[in-house]
Amino acid sequence: MNALSNIKLPPWLQGLATAQNKASLAAPILIIMLLAMMILPLPAFVLDLFFSFNIALSVIVLLTALYTVKPLDFMAFPTILLLSTMLRLSLNVASTRVVLTEGHTGADAAGKVIEAFGHFLIGGNYTVGIVVFVILTIINFVVVTKGAGRIAEVGARFALDAMPGKQMAIDADLNAGLIGEAEAKKRRSEVSMEAEFYGAMDGASKYVRGDAIAGILVTVINVVGGLLVGLIQHDMLFADAIKNYTLLAIGDGLVAQIPSLVISIAAGIVVSRVASEQDIGSQLMGQLFGKPQVLYITGAIIGGMGLIPGMPNLVFLLLGAILAGSGYMMTKRAAEKQTAEVAAAEAAAPAAAAAAEQEEASWQDVMPVDTLGLEVGYRLIPLVDKTQGGELLKRIKGIRKKFAQEVGFLAPPVHIRDNLELKPSAYRIALKGVEVGTGEAYNGQFLAINPGMATGTLQGMVTTDPAFGLPAVWIDANLRDQAQGMGYTVVDAGTVVATHLNHLITTHASELLGRSEVQSLLDHLSKEAPKLVEDLVPKLIPLSTLQKVLQNLLAEGVHIRDMRTIIETLAEHAVHTQDAGDLTILVRIALGRAIVQQLFPGASELSVMTLDNRLERLLMQALAASGPDGAGIEPGLADTIAQQAQQAAAQQEALGLTPVLLVPGPLRALLSRFLRRALPQLKVLSHAEIPESKTIRVTALVGQQPV
């Protein structure tokens, strides 16, 4: 035993011995057998064995096709089609060799299977055999194989054309949070495999057509060759030779063509079925014989035909009675089932009510709130329904991607649902379950927005742009070109909703940045600078302080893409202060160049508003007296500042300039919080945030008049 255990097998034998999947050897062995059958002579018994196996294989393939629910459940079918075709051709070659060499000895020269097909199926009459063989070949070649090949060709073309749409629908579900990454990967794989399957079936169907042609040629060659061999080599009489060799050739052809026809039918079933959760048998019984009204009418027609003189009355009347009786039984079973369901529902209702009364509240009753939600009326459902080509899903995907690239973190998925309580064309945008925006969008129409330079009026429903409040008109599609020519900005209903959603996401970016998003930012940054992140959180500042600093930046419209600078600045100053407000000021100074670039892209001269000297001194005194929150500012002064800042900002916008107020560092946070609610478009910068390379041009003074 020990000696045997020390013997080392060759690597290829070890591979065979340790192979977990023994079935993997089946394909190589089968290929070798097919080649051997074409080259080596086979005895009659072995031919019988292989012909029987060929028939059994065709039946197995047909039954598998019948019980297949989806085409992808039988992905190996194109390969099986090729191998079964090669098996039949190999058997033709092997049987031809035996027929030509031993055919003079009798009808059993090529085995009992060929003799049985030659005698029992065609009655020993070679004329009948030729006619039956030709008919079977025509059915297989012209009808079944040609139709299956055409369906496979069209199916492959449609599958390839539909691939981009299916992939985008999967991406939309993934971005909307309806499915996970694993499910999306599985669906993408299924879409790809479906296209490959139909393409393979398109090619494999050509093998079956070639097999039908080869069957005819092989049979003709066997007949002619057998006559020559019998007459010349074995000195047989012409009548005996043509009888022997023709019966053998036709039996050989039939024993190959019948399995070929069965597998062709299986191919047609696989490629012609529509995706469903039922197999073919269940579909046929449920759809063809599932309506009693159809059976009643058919039974009446067949029974009426049985009353016509000269017709086979008994057969027609019997069949009509069977159909009508089947319809009656189906109607009776349906009524009994409905009665049983009603009785069960009535019996279960009191128990369910009692259970509902006795059931205690649980944590399952607490439903999580979606961070971002979009609810639409029923007329807007086509915009968000992927089966109807909803464009809004792709736009939302683009919004989240653009937001991540520009702002610096990934916004939560937008959960979309219909709400029948809304107006048919209305939509509602919610942030953490609270409504932050509403509007109406009319599917099929276009919103013509007046940016301030449009000329003329348009016929339609006057409204305002829900995102920015600009005057607008809902117009029909035929007025689109006219509106664009008059200077209007024309967008469709999906773009209106997407723009409004994008505006609200950008506006509420600070509220979308939760703990999980901050942690994801740190995890992403730690891939490039792990030591930098490790030294800051939680060694110097907690995660909550970092979150507050980032939220302060986002609340004032500052992007946080440059996380490296933010982390480095916090790491430098966190040893001196842990106050989120003070740290935000220091981070803003470090991001000054990026902030100015965001407000004045490509400009070397900055056109800004500033405070009058007297107002500036008053505010500095008020700040010193009341503290950083500015609670001690006199209400009349605060009202005057708000009014004058609004007038100055309007003048800046009229000149096509970004409204920016430049103030001393100590006043920046105070004025930014104070003016943010009334003037969200106004940005407040401090002198320390302006790069030295930029020049400043003052275009307006706030508080220039006496206070």
How does strand 605-611 pair with strand 426-431?
unpaired
Structure tokens at 162: 């539909």
Q: Tokens 């209106």 appear where?
A: 496
* Nearest C-alpha neighbor of 77 from the set 270, 210, 239, 246: 270
Helix (H) or strand (E) holding 439: strand 434-440
pLDDT tens-digit profile of 418-458? 988 899 999 999 999 999 999 999 998 999 999 888 888 89
How does strand 372-376 pair with strand 414-418?
parallel
For residues 290 and 288, give the distance between their C-alpha atoms in angstroms, rounded to a whole number.
6
Q: How far is CA 517 from CA 147, 543, 550, in A?
A: 56, 11, 11
Question: What is the chain's Cα-based Rg?
Answer: 41
Mean local confidence (pLDDT), 566-595? 94
Residues counted in the chain: 707
Asked if 695 contacts 596 with a C-beta cutoff of 8 angstroms, the reply is: no
Q: How far is CA 149 from CA 64, 206, 273, in A?
A: 19, 7, 14
pLDDT of residue 161: 67
Point out the least confidently predicted range of 53-57, 591-595, 650-654: 53-57
pLDDT of residue 165: 65
pLDDT of residue 111: 65
Structure tokens at 317: 């009347």
For residues 630 and 287, give the distance between their C-alpha atoms in angstroms, rounded to a whole number.
77
pLDDT at 16 over 50: no
Mean local confidence (pLDDT), 584-606? 93
Mean local confidence (pLDDT), 360-374? 81
Q: How confident is the model at residue 509 (pLDDT cuts 50, 70, 90)?
A: very high
For residues 559 and 540, give the distance between their C-alpha atoms in angstroms, rounded to a whole number.
23
Please give the residue that has the higher pLDDT: either 220 or 441. Answer: 441
Q: Tokens 């509403």 appear where?
A: 438
For residues 202 and 204, give the distance between their C-alpha atoms in angstroms, rounded to a whole number.
6
Mean local confidence (pLDDT), 2-6? 43
Q: How confident is the model at residue 105 (pLDDT cuts 50, 70, 90)?
A: low
pLDDT at 7 over 60: no
Structure tokens at 629: 């929150």
Residue 661 β-bridge partners: 609, 684
pLDDT of residue 9: 46
Mean local confidence (pLDDT), 350-367? 65
Asked if 47 contacts 94 with a C-beta cutoff of 8 angstroms, the reply is: yes
Residues in contact with 101: Cβ distance below 8 Å, sequence separation at least 6, in sequence order: 41
Structure tokens at 136: 């079977």
pLDDT of residue 124: 58
- The rounded mean pLDDT for the chain is 80
One-letter amino acid for residue 16 of the chain:
L
One-letter amino acid for residue 335 of the chain:
A
Cα 35 off chain centre by: 44
Point out the least confidently predicted range of 6-10, 279-283, 417-421, 487-491: 6-10
Q: How many beta carbons lie within 10 A of that of residue 577, not counting itself? A: 13
CA atoms lying within 13 Å on the CB side of residue 160: 11
End-to-end CA distance of the chain: 109
Residues in contact with 155: Cβ distance below 8 Å, sequence separation at least 6, in sequence order: 198, 201, 202, 271
Cα 688 off chain centre by: 50
Q: How far is CA 248 from CA 109, 257, 588, in A?
A: 8, 14, 96
Helix (H) or strand (E) holding 356: helix 313-358
Please give the residue that has the higher pLDDT: either 419 or 144. Answer: 419
Which strand ranges, in their side-by-side order, compose the sheet holding 426-431? 414-418, 372-376, 426-431, 434-440
Helix (H) or strand (E) holding 416: strand 414-418
pLDDT of residue 18: 45
> Mutual orientation of helices 493-507 and 391-407 as an angle, nearest 10°?
30
For residues 312, 314, 318, 324, the Cα torsion angle rounded to the nearest 10 degrees is: 70
Q: What is the CATH number of domain 603-707?
A: 3.40.50.12790
Long-range contacts: 137-142, Cβ < 8 Å, 24+? 137/212, 137/215, 137/216, 137/253, 137/257, 139/261, 140/208, 140/212, 140/257, 140/260, 140/261, 140/264, 141/209, 141/212, 141/213
Residue 449 β-bridge partners: 472, 489
Q: Would you identify the CATH topology of the domain 513-590?
A: Helicase, Ruva Protein; domain 3 (1.10.8)
pLDDT of residue 530: 87
pLDDT at 596 over 50: yes
Point out the least confidently predicted range of 54-63, 224-233, 588-597: 224-233
pLDDT at 697 over 90: yes
Q: What is the DSSP annotation of 516-542?
A: HHHHHHHHHHHTT-HHHHHHHTTTTS-
Residues in contact with 536: Cβ distance below 8 Å, sequence separation at least 6, in sequence order: 546, 567, 570, 571, 574
pLDDT of residue 75: 76
Residues in contact with 680: Cβ distance below 8 Å, sequence separation at least 6, in sequence order: 507
200-209, 357-366, 604-613, range with greatest mean pLDDT: 604-613
pLDDT tens-digit profile of 302-337? 888 878 887 777 887 888 888 888 888 888 887 887
* 3-class secondary-structure state, position 660: strand
Mean local confidence (pLDDT), 460-485? 91
pLDDT of residue 6: 47
Asked if 677 contacts 663 with a C-beta cutoff of 8 angstroms, the reply is: no
Cα 465 off chain centre by: 33
* 3-class secondary-structure state, position 149: helix
Q: How confident is the model at residue 3 (pLDDT cuts 50, 70, 90)?
A: very low
Q: Where, residue-wise, is CATH 3.40.30.60 in the chain?
A: 372-507
Across 445-511, the runs of DSSP E, i.e. the strands, are: 446-449, 461-464, 471-475, 489-492
pLDDT tens-digit profile of 68-101? 777 677 777 777 877 887 887 788 777 777 777 7
Mean local confidence (pLDDT), 243-271? 75
Q: How confident is the model at residue 593 (pLDDT cuts 50, 70, 90)?
A: very high
**Cα angle vertex 388, ends 384, 393, to 5°?**
30
Point out the least confidently predicted range of 17-26, 110-119, 273-282, 286-295: 17-26
Point out the least confidently predicted range of 11-20, 275-284, 413-422, 462-471: 11-20
pLDDT at 555 over 90: yes
Percent of the chain, pLDDT > 70?
A: 81
Q: How confident is the model at residue 276 (pLDDT cuts 50, 70, 90)?
A: low
Q: How confident is the model at residue 4 (pLDDT cuts 50, 70, 90)?
A: very low
Q: 641-651 b/e with 16+ CB inside 10 Å = b?
A: bbebbbebbee
Q: How confident is the model at residue 610 (pLDDT cuts 50, 70, 90)?
A: very high
pLDDT at 577 over 50: yes
| Architecture of the domain delimited by 372-507 | 3-Layer(aba) Sandwich (3.40)
For residues 230, 233, 237, 243, the Cα torsion angle rounded to the nearest 10 degrees is: -10
Please give the residue that has the higher pLDDT: either 494 or 74. Answer: 494
Q: Where, residue-wise, is CATH 3.40.50.12790 in the chain?
A: 603-707
102-111, 272-281, 535-544, range with greatest mean pLDDT: 535-544
Please give the residue that has the higher pLDDT: either 178 or 394. Answer: 394
* Nearest C-alpha neighbor of 333 from the set 280, 290, 303: 290
Q: How confident is the model at residue 272 (pLDDT cuts 50, 70, 90)?
A: low
Residues in contact with 616: Cβ distance below 8 Å, sequence separation at least 6, in sequence order: 663, 664, 667, 703
